[in-house]
Amino acid sequence: MRTKIAEALRSLDIPESEFFPLRQHQYAPILDHILETFTRFGSHGENQMWLWEGLKGRAEVLQVEHNNGPDYLAQILSAEERVWFIAEDWEGNKKSGNFWIFEGRVAAIISVPNEIHAFEYYLVAKDFSWLICENHHNQMLGIGKPIEERIHKLCEEMA
């Protein structure tokens, strides 16, 4: 998965300053904090598939059209915001854990999912106040008051 993301970044000509992978010593504490904050799995969830199935509390859900998740993210998030991007390694190529973590600007991040087919990804505020993901059911799920409010507002506008 990391290789596919790197290929997408090259083909989209996204500079490393806009979107880059974290090294193992950097990502482990961040992943632990994300898992503890947002999931019932806690730090034991590093090998879990489909983290969205174990989100704490009730997530705000937006049904999206196939392959249009990034378009909705562009409406929900600020393009300039820097966030954590977590990609599930559904191919099973990762030696430890099941997630690749990157840091980047939303404007750069949202162009990547359309370059890679059939994977689940998460964006997390750097202050850990919210998490949003797109799953294989074409749903955007958000947890954390700031993102829940933004998703709810978008749902109302679309109704």
pLDDT tens sequence across 80-102: 999 999 988 766 665 666 788 99
86 and 94 in contact (C-beta within 8 Å)?
no
- In 3D space, the residue among 103, 79, 95 whose CA is nearest the CA of residue 31 turns out to be 103
| Number of domains observed in the structure of the chain | 1
* Section 41-57 average pLDDT: 82
Distance between CA 81 and CA 32 in Å, rounded?
A: 22
Percent of the chain with pLDDT over 70: 92
pTM of the model: 0.90
Query: Which domain range does residue 92 map to?
Result: 2-158
How high is the pLDDT of residue 6? 79
* Tokens (6 digits) for 135: 């799953």
* Tokens (6 digits) for 74: 């562009």
